[in-house]
Amino acid sequence: MVAQNVALAVKLPRDAREKGKVTPPAKGDLRAILEAAGEQADLKTQVLVELAVFSGLRASELRGLSWKGVDFTNGTVTVSQRADAAGVIGPPKSKAGFRTIPLPPRVVTLLKTWKLACPVSDLDLVFPSERGNPRSWASEMMDFSDRSSRDVIGLESELRHPSRTDRTLGAVS
């Protein structure tokens, strides 16, 4: 019998985590997405699409976004919680997930309009379901995608990454 586990002292090399290369959509494609949201979508979906495009929020962050995280005066949105696909609200996955993001005036104006029309929920969510729980991003985007002939599989990634690249969206707004 061995007194200790000698394998615990062995350090195996770890492969670097490979990240897939994300190619943000061209400015023309972003304009088309924003125009489609403005022309074809209801107010809630328009706000959701514009906020996703201009903030780079993840689907879970959009689901978990509460009104207390929206600062109309300073034109920012603060991420302090997220809601997973099952609707369970919790903190962001990492320290970097807690952040404040500046918004262009057009998104702040849309958020103000949506706040007046938004159903009240106990969780004070920006995008609540009919029952006041976190809403499914997929159902919103599937509906919007069907109307605008976009591939829903890549839409979240497309909407997320432009704001994190070279701030090309300034030319879109």
| Contact criterion met (CB below 8 Å) for 30 and 161 | no
Tell me if 71 is assigned to some domain: yes
Question: pLDDT at position 159, please?
Answer: 55
Task: For residue 119, give its domain range.
Answer: 27-165
pLDDT in the model for residue 166: 40
C-alpha to C-alpha distance for 36 and 33, rounded to whole angstroms: 5
Do the domain assignments include residue 6?
A: no
Task: Profile the chain (173 residues) by mean pLDDT over runs of 10 residues.
Answer: 74 70 83 87 89 92 96 98 93 93 97 96 93 76 54 47 45 48
Q: Is residue 108 part of a domain?
A: yes
Show the 3-state SS of the chain: CCCCCHHHHCCCCCCCCCCCCCCCCCHHHHHHHHHHHHHHCCHHHHHHHHHHHHHCCCHHHHHHCEHHHEECCCCEEEECCEECCCCCEECCCCHHHCEEEECCHHHHHHHHHHHHHCCCCCCCECCECCCCCECCHHHHHHHHHHHHCCCHHHHHHHHHCHHHCCCHHHHCC
Residue 16 lies in a domain: no
In a domain, 97, yes or no: yes
- Residue 6: predicted pLDDT: 74
> Do the domain assignments include residue 9?
no
pLDDT value at residue 145: 58
Residue with tokens 């918004």: 103
| Predicted pLDDT of residue 167 | 40
Q: Is residue 112 part of a domain?
A: yes
The number of distinct structural domains making up the chain is 1
Phi and psi at residue 78, to the nearest 5°: -110, 125
Residue 12 resides in a domain: no
> Could you tell me the CATH number of the domain that includes residue 144?
1.10.443.10
C-beta of residue 49 within 8 angstroms of C-beta of residue 159 = yes
